[in-house]
Every structure is written in structure tokens, then in C-alpha cells.
Homo-oligomer: A and B are copies of this chain.
Amino acid sequence: MGLTLSEFLPYRLNCLSEAMSQEIKPIYRDHFGLNRPEWRVLVALADLGTATAKDVGAHSAQHKTRISRAVRALEQRRWLTRESDPKDRRSEMLTLTAAGHRAYCDLVGPMRAQEAGILDRLSPEDRAALGTALSALENALGLSVAQPPE
């Protein structure tokens, strides 16, 4: 009749998510003073090439107000440029500058290394199970297509 927090799936996922986040946060924080929304926009734009704020939000699962603020911060660093789309003047085409792309490249290596360092602590079987399990859960929760909050 009890619940046992440590066995409750939402709780376990939240703890894992936060622990993982703590492992990688120092990388983008200490190197460049980025926060998580900014880091995600940076990756999203590197993934997508030129894209609108809406695209970035969909690709990085972030609320549009977060995108708006992160884009402004990155723009002030001159890591991205806005160019108004003549076909639809409501939206703007966002593109990483050379400096932005350089910063991205500086961060990707350590990021992947950190991720790999953690995965290395798992047995090959557990790594396989992790891949299977996460994909299955993403399907069960309808996350196969990334959707921004709201």
C-alpha cells in the first residue's frame, strides 16, 4: 500500500536526469558561462543549420519564452545572427556565426567525453538495455517527435 519513493518511476527518472545534468553543466558553464537553455539553442542550431525560433524550440524541447531569451543572449555574444525572412516577417532565420560554431565545437568534445565516461561504467548488456529502455519509454510517452512544453 506504500509507494516507496526510490522505486517510483517518475522519481527515479527525475533523479537520474538531475544527476546527469550536474555532470555536464560544469562544461558549458565553466568554459563559456552558458546556461542550459543557451547551450541547447547552440546545439539545436548546429544540428539544424539556419532555423527559426519555433524550429529551435521544437528541436530542443524548450518553451518559446526560453528560446526568446536564450537567442537574445547568444546574439549579444555575436554567436548567432537574426535575418528576417522576407516571406514571413513574423519569424526570423537564426544562424550560428563562425564564433558560435567554434564555441560549439569546443564544447562538443568534452560533452561527448563526459557522456562516454558515464556509459563506460555500464556493462555492455546494461548499455544495450539502456538504449532499448529509453527508446521504448520515449515511444510510450509520445516523445518520438520532440515537442516543446505547452
Contact = CB atoms under 8 A, between A and B. Distances in A.
**What band does the interface of chain A fall in when counting residues whose beta carbon is under 8 Å from B?**
35 or more
Interface string A120-150: 0111011001101110111111110010010
Interface stretch (A6-14, A80-88, A92-100): A6-14
Q: Is the interface of A mostly helix, strand, loop or mixed?
A: helix
Given A3-B108, A9-B118, A10-B115, A16 B136 contact: no
Chain copies in complex:
2
A74 interface: no
Given A1-B108, A5-B59, A12-B138, 5 more contacts: A14-B20, A16-B17, A19-B143, A121-B139, A126-B133
